[in-house]
Amino acid sequence: MLDGLDPEQREVATALHGPVCVLAGAGTGKTRAITHRIAYGVRSGVLQPSSVLAVTFTNRAAGEMRGRLRQLGAAGVQARTFHSAALRQLQYFWPRAVGGELPRLLERKVQLVAEAAARCRIRLDRNELRDVTGEVEWAKVTQTVPEDYPAAVTKSGREAPRDPAEIAGIYGTYEQLKRDRGVIDFEDVLLLTVGVLQDRHDIADTVRSQYQHFVVDEYQDVSPLQQRLLDLWLGDRDSLCVVGDAGQTIYSFTGATPDHLLNFRTRHPHATVVRLVRDYRSTPQVVHLANNLMGRARGRAAEHRLELVSQRGPGPEPVHTEYTDEPAEAEGIARRIRELMTPREQGGGGVPASEIAVLYRINAQSEVYEQALADHGIPYQLRGAERFFERPEVREAGVALRGAARAGGNDPLLEDAADLPSQVRAVLGTKGWTPEPPAGSGAVRDRWESLAALVRLAEQFSAARAAAGAGPPTLADLVTELDERAGAQHAPTVEGVTLASLHAAKGLEWDAVFLAGLTEGIVPITYAKTDEQIEEERRLLYVGVTRARIHLGLSWSLSRSPGGRANRRPSRFVQELRGPVARGAASRGGSAGGVVRGGTGASRRVKRGPVRCRVCGRTLTDAGEMKLMRCEGCPSELDEALYERLREWRSERAAELGQPAYCVFTDKTLMAIAEAVPGEASELVTIAGVGRRKLDRFGADVLALCAGDAPAQSPAADAGTDVGDAPDDRLRHSSEDVADD
Ligand code: ATP
Ligand code: MG
């Protein structure tokens, strides 16, 4: 058990009694040390598995921890997020503490906050709504009631997005609306659990007799409310082990603070404090960059900075790349990913797709990367896909499908439906699915997208069955398939490149990491104003950098769209890194640490210059319009029948290849093809999203379809027939495909 640990990690693992605090930088094996500690405690008989509660901050991290514990022979230990641990206890004790059933949990706050604002006669635009919702969350995790919010804002030095009195009004109304409707939100789960444990000593005693030992990962991001809950769980005992890195504090905006980590010794004078500095994750090149970035940090967290020392062999220098525009940046990254994914025998990097990530600051940045990866036929997954099966519309659809499956041939709905996909379309038609998406965006559209993803899943499922030579699947088969996927916690995915925000990447690692869109205004984000907020942005970048084991790419683009004004500047943090150190490395030869210029000159897209509307000639800036090569408003000469044929062909191809449909062509590209109706390869290749590679693979089929012929029999599938990619991936993709229609 202890063999795989260094002496300091071993000290952590063997300190089974009393409080323990591990202060250490990224990749030093904190998570590894605590999982080994638990396993060691269990295997040596000191810790009863069922008496240990390990808490972390994301479902994915909790899932990974459970997996690691199982491997180490410590199954039976609870590893949960604060939220899920609290929810479980609340559900269990609610009937006894309050009576009746626990109120329904509100999936998303935004809508109710909007309603509260409307009641207060305050108009909020989308950004304000997001910011005000953030304020409500902050108030709740800092246990601030509406009346106290304005004073709390002043005291904390926060910059409120609106007049604090107005926000207090919206917050109060929001709480009232929740009560009226008998629902609770995410923070209420913690607040109510705290309330129950505080007021009901009998219940607190029961919980305490169950859990005697607590372990907290990523402790630097604990919120006051979570800390309060932890204190209540612990009572007057001290079997608490916390690990964290103040340099990775990235949730201050939600009220989290590294103070609990940094002051642990003050609160627990007898605590064993261990520091780890050996970085097992990243190469010396990556570590050097990370140290440089943090070397310039200021503030409290920086005082506790630990210089990391890489334990790995050398690797390639991190590559800084400047692009002329965003699509060129995405295209450049996609190409680089393709090189990395190419097998070693063929001169590539031999890195599997699942070991590559593209990380960005805000979720809205994902679109251009999704598009570029899809254009290159690279499968990808967006973080957060695991929530798909938890969405209310997906649950409802599951109930409806199950009902129809049970009724079998007796369900009148299914009378005219010959195959599984048409049956699914008929059933989901009663839940709001329509062949065409509803106009506009928002909740109705989101719901439709989820249902459409289920329809596509059914299509792929039956195509894959057919390709495997099995008989036609029934609704019951599909229901079993959906249950299995949902049961696996998150939707299973194809081996895909991860697209994630920097926040969502916390605690994770990949062989290759691309940090994209590093410009002023994005990192640091425009609304980071105070020194402390800017420092948090630096830490966020540090989290990003330290996710990479070997390959690290940092990039930015000077303008948003091709031909646009080059009014962006690289992030100040990147500029610091490119200082003397980077130039010194570069002068030793090669591109080491230097700046590689990529983009327009080099990329296929850019050779075409600014993209103009085919109809009116206007320069296009919107990514969706650029794909279509016309303004949204300009008349479309789309050949509807051809478009439908192309889509059908695409589903078949995708099923054969065992890949999501967008990896063949995206909706936008098919639309552009059905508008242009190319007669030969030279025309086809000029359409955005086609490219040489796809021309070689699919050109003949597409041209045949355009000419009104049936495509030649497709060659045998050149990949497995795995249908298992997350419906969400396609969902997100198609949602962006159509969202700007
Ligand atoms: P973060 O701050 O990013 O959460 P961490 O400190 O939790 O990082 P881990 O994820 O536990 O770090 O470990 C980083 C990597 O180094 C993992 O791949 C882990 O398996 C490996 N590692 C940690 N300690 C050792 C060790 N003693 N020997 C070999 N590999 C190790
Ligand atoms: Mg960790």
Query: Considering the domain boundaries, does residue 262 fall inside one?
Result: yes
Q: Whose CA is nearest to atom 21 of ligand 1?
A: 280
| Nearest-angstrom CA–CA distance, 277 and 287 | 11
Q: Tell me, yes or no, whether 85 and 195 share the same domain.
A: yes
- Domain containing 134 equals 108-179
Query: Considering the domain boundaries, does residue 718 fall inside one?
Result: yes
Q: Tell me, yes or no, whether 60 and 197 share the same domain.
A: yes
At residue 81, does pLDDT exceed 60? yes
Ligand 1 atom closest to 9 (CA):
27
Q: Tell me, yes or no, whether 218 and 84 share the same domain.
A: yes
Give the contacts of 461 (CB within 8 A, at least 6 positions apart): 420, 473, 477, 478, 481, 723
Q: Which of 280, 359, 502, 506 has the most ligand 1 atoms within 8 A of CB, as the residue to mutate?
A: 280
Query: Considering the domain boundaries, does residue 294 fall inside one?
Result: no
* CB of 37 closer than 6 angstroms to any ligand 1 atom: no
Structure tokens belonging to residue 122:
């305050």
Query: Considering the domain boundaries, does residue 258 fall inside one?
Result: yes
CATH of the domain at 694: 1.10.150.80
* CB of 28 closer than 6 angstroms to any ligand 1 atom: yes
- Domain endpoint, select from 468, 488, 508: 488
Give the contacts of 684 (CB within 8 A, at least 6 positions apart): 673, 678, 690, 695, 699, 702, 703, 706
Cα–ligand 2 centroid distance for 547 (angstroms): 10
Q: Tell me, yes or no, whether 138 and 79 share the same domain.
A: no
Query: Considering the domain boundaries, does residue 286 fall inside one?
Result: no
- Domain endpoint, select from 488, 504, 527: 488
- Domain endpoint, select from 276, 300, 334: 276
At residue 608, the pLDDT reads 36
Number of structural domains (the chain) is: 5
* CB of 29 closer than 6 angstroms to any ligand 1 atom: yes
* CB of 30 closer than 6 angstroms to any ligand 1 atom: yes
Q: Tell me, yes or no, whether 116 and 74 share the same domain.
A: no
Query: Considering the domain boundaries, does residue 261 fall inside one?
Result: yes
- What is the length of the chain? 741
Which of 65-69, 655-659, 700-704 has the largest mean confidence?
A: 700-704
Cα–ligand 1 centroid distance for 642 (angstroms): 53
- Name the least confident of 38-52, 148-162, 461-475, 664-678: 461-475
At residue 226, the pLDDT reads 94
Q: Whose CA is nearest to atom 14 of ligand 1?
A: 27
699 and 684 Cβ atoms separated by less than 8 Å: yes
* Residue pLDDT, tens place only, 92-140: 999 999 998 899 998 778 889 999 999 999 998 877 887 898 899 999 9
Q: Which of 32, 60, 542 has the most ligand 1 atoms within 8 A of CB, as the residue to mutate?
A: 32
Query: Considering the domain boundaries, does residue 421 fall inside one?
Result: yes
Could you give the residue ranges of the DSSP H alpha helices within 602-677? 604-607, 623-628, 640-657, 667-676
Q: Which of 31, 243, 274 has the most ligand 1 atoms within 8 A of CB, as the residue to mutate?
A: 31
Q: Tell me, yes or no, whether 392 and 338 share the same domain.
A: no
* Residue pLDDT, tens place only, 598-627: 443 333 333 334 566 666 667 676 666 776
CATH of the domain at 207: 3.40.50.300
Phi, psi dihedrals of residue 560, rounded to the nearest 5°: -75, -45
* Residue pLDDT, tens place only, 276-334: 989 999 999 999 999 999 998 887 767 777 789 999 999 999 999 999 988 899 999 99
498 and 357 Cβ atoms separated by less than 8 Å: yes
pLDDT band for 217, please (50, 70, 90 cuts).
very high
* Strands 319-325, 183-184: pairing kind: unpaired
pLDDT greater at residue 181 or residue 687:
181
* Strands 278-279, 309-310: pairing kind: parallel
Structure tokens belonging to residue 561:
């769209």
At residue 40, does pLDDT exceed 60? yes
Q: Tell me, yes or no, whether 377 and 415 share the same domain.
A: no
Looking at the chain, the number of H-run helices and the number of E-run strands are 31, 17
Q: Tell me, yes or no, whether 601 and 503 share the same domain.
A: yes
Q: DSSP character for 309?
A: E
Cα–ligand 1 centroid distance for 53 (angstroms): 21
Three-state secondary-structure class, residue 61: helix
Cα–ligand 1 centroid distance for 33 (angstroms): 8
Q: Tell me, yes or no, whether 723 and 662 share the same domain.
A: yes
The closest alpha carbon to 31, from 385, 538, 509, 537, belongs to: 509
Cα–ligand 1 centroid distance for 278 (angstroms): 9
* CB of 311 closer than 6 angstroms to any ligand 1 atom: no
pLDDT cut 70: percent of the chain above it = 84
Q: Tell me, yes or no, whether 70 and 202 share the same domain.
A: yes
* Residue pLDDT, tens place only, 569-587: 999 999 888 643 332 222 2
Q: Tell me, yes or no, whether 380 and 502 share the same domain.
A: yes
At residue 364, the pLDDT reads 66
Give the contacts of 588 (CB within 8 A, at least 6 positions apart): none
The closest alpha carbon to 236, from 205, 273, 194, belongs to: 205
> Can you tell me the mean pLDDT for 593-597?
46
* CB of 64 closer than 6 angstroms to any ligand 1 atom: no
Dihedral of the alpha carbons of 479, 485, 486, 488, in degrees to the nearest 10: 140
* Residue pLDDT, tens place only, 439-486: 654 456 567 767 887 887 888 788 877 877 778 888 998 998 887 666
Q: Tell me, yes or no, whether 352 and 499 share the same domain.
A: yes
